[in-house]
Amino acid sequence: MAYLGNSARTKEILAKYNMSAKKKFGQNFLIDSGVLENIVEAAGVTDEDCVLEIGPGIGTLTQYLAEAAGRVVAVEIDKTLMPVLDDTLSEYDNVTIINEDVLKVDIGQVAAEYNEGRPMKVVANLPYYITTPIIMKLFESGAPIESITVMVQKEVADRMTEGPGSKDYGSLSLAVGYYAEAEPVCDVPPSSFIPQPAVGSAVVRLSRYEKPKVRVRDEKYMFEVIRTSFNQRRKTLSNSLSNNPALGVTREEIQAALEKMGMNEKVRGEVLSLEQFAELSDILQSRGAMLN
Ligand code: SAM
């Protein structure tokens, strides 16, 4: 079986199965062998690793992963791709395909079943329409995951890797930054895919911290503070946070908390670091109502 990572083979396979890429599943197949090699190298995949791939498509990245990893478990929602994957991955005996929506899969169970509960590396060219839910599920599930190396929309990659003060800084930067160190790997043009996406893409690597980056009394409360702050980005923190009844704090209490932190009462969320959000959340929570 020849590698799929080029335009001719990809078109050949799609024609053989009389298929075209499905927009509703965010299907954009990689046809650039250089990018595929970059992804596997950035993920640092070795034959000791069990890799979880999300959305194998016609098996393009899966082939590269199967060559490098000890085992690959790939979760694909599209049932019509099952016979294609049987064909394109027939030479590999270390690949398991699970035909399921990844958002419904118990990732901890996958690690238990295929990797004796040890941490897996996630590697994927993600379906862009559900990038954030997938990343948040991987982190919040508490499943054993060592790193996540993924192709995402360029704009989302920027949001994951930027810090306070940048226009791309927001709740995704903070959520990712709480769990992992985010590093850009490379930018990828639309011409590296069939069909070409309307937006630019980029590969990022998220290396999970052993423990979250900051200590906070109640992470759910902190993330509510963060979400509220960025929902109304141009408003001051005391305005936006006092408008959210779930936080149970008044404008005066927020201003007092900011003062205690040595910050101006007119400050906006976009300048606060993760550490500052954790501190603010702890102070506010000791004053406001507890979230259920
Ligand atoms: N890995 C292939 C490649 O690089 O050429 C295909 C990547 S394509 C951008 C995204 C893949 O994710 C598609 O195969 C799509 O069917 C699959 N997908 C979309 N939603 C999914 C979901 N909820 N669970 C699992 N797979 C999904």
Q: What is the pTM of this model?
A: 0.93
Buried b (16+ CB within 10 A) or exposed e, 37-66: ebbbebbebeeebbbbbbbbbbbbbbbbbb
Nearest to 144 by CA among 116, 105, 123: 116
Q: How far is the CA of 73 from the centre of ligand 1 (A)?
A: 14
Tokens 């927009």, located at residue: 23
DSSP three-state, residue 128? helix
Amino acid in position 26? G
Nearest CA residue ID for atom 12, ligand 1: 55
Ligand 1 lined by 56 (C-beta under 6 Å): yes
Q: In the chain, at which residue ranges do the beta strands (DSSP E only) sit?
A: 29-30, 50-54, 71-76, 95-99, 120-125, 145-153, 180-188, 193-194, 201-208
pLDDT tens, residue by residue, 71-83: 999 999 999 999 9
Tokens 């498509």, located at residue: 57
Q: Where are the domains of the chain?
A: 7-208, 219-287
CB atoms closer than 10 angstroms to residue 119: 14
Ligand 1 lined by 28 (C-beta under 6 Å): yes
Nearest to 51 by CA among 138, 147, 133, 128: 147
Nearest CA residue ID for atom 22, ligand 1: 101
pLDDT tens, residue by residue, 93-150: 999 999 999 999 999 999 999 999 999 999 999 999 999 999 999 999 999 999 999 9
Q: How far is the CA of 175 from the centre of ligand 1 (A)?
A: 23
In the prediction, which pLDDT does 49 show? 98
Kindly give the pairing relationship between strand 71-76 and strand 120-125.
unpaired
In the prediction, which pLDDT does 266 show? 92
Closest ligand 1 atom number to CA of residue 25: 19
Ligand 1 lined by 85 (C-beta under 6 Å): no
Domains 7-208 and 219-287 share a fold: no
> Is residue 105 within 8 Å of 130, Cβ to Cβ?
no
Output the CA–CA distances (angstroms, integers) from residue 33 to 39, 83, 259, in the order listed. Answer: 10, 23, 54
In the prediction, which pLDDT does 291 show? 45
- For the 219-287 domain, the top CATH level (class) is mainly alpha
Can you identify the CATH homologous superfamily of domain 7-208? Vaccinia Virus protein VP39 (3.40.50.150)
Nearest CA residue ID for atom 18, ligand 1: 55
Closest ligand 1 atom number to CA of residue 57: 14
Closest ligand 1 atom number to CA of residue 27: 8
**Distance in angstroms (rounded) separating the CA atoms of residues 250 and 263:** 17
**Distance in angstroms (rounded) separating the CA atoms of residues 279 and 214:** 9
Residue among 98, 125, 131 to mutate when testing ligand 1 (max atoms within 8 A of CB): 125
Q: What angle do CA 163, 144, 129 make, to 5 degrees?
A: 55
Nearest to 10 by CA among 202, 203, 192: 192
Nearest CA residue ID for atom 21, ligand 1: 77
Q: What is the mean pLDDT of each run of 10 residues along the chain (292 residues)?
A: 88 97 97 98 98 98 98 98 98 98 97 97 97 94 96 96 90 95 97 97 97 94 95 90 94 95 93 96 78 43
> Is residue 95 within 8 Å of 118, Cβ to Cβ?
no
In the prediction, which pLDDT does 2 show? 72
